[in-house]
Amino acid sequence: MRHVADIPHPDLKITLLAWNGKYLLKLEKGMLEQTYKVSELDLVGGDEEMRQLLDDTFVAAAVRRFADMRDDLQAALERHDLL
């Protein structure tokens, strides 16, 4: 796996990786992680096109998804008395 870039963001840790013919866009917030894979063949502009995906709409949706993920995990932990 090749590290391509760390992309600055105030709320998330964003890492761009390349592996096995794909770009991996990894977003992290606390203990949670989202990874998006895109074939290198789909991006004629390379990693610059991957960076374009990180527009305000995409990032806002990812942040909302992190909140949902946190809530889902919390609910499961409570259902099973694991807190």
Q: What pLDDT is attached to residue 46?
A: 83
Q: Which of 18, 15, 13 shows the shortest CA–CA distance to 2?
A: 18
Sign of the alpha-carbon dihedral angle for 38, 39, 41, 42:
negative
Q: What pLDDT is attached to residue 43?
A: 84
Residue 83 pLDDT more than 90? no
First and final C-alpha spacing in the chain: 36
Instruction: Answer for the pair 17, 4: CB distance below 8 angstroms, yes or no.
Output: yes
pLDDT digit string, tens, across residues 30-80: 999 999 999 999 887 888 898 999 999 999 999 999 999 999 999 999 999
Q: What pLDDT is attached to residue 70?
A: 98
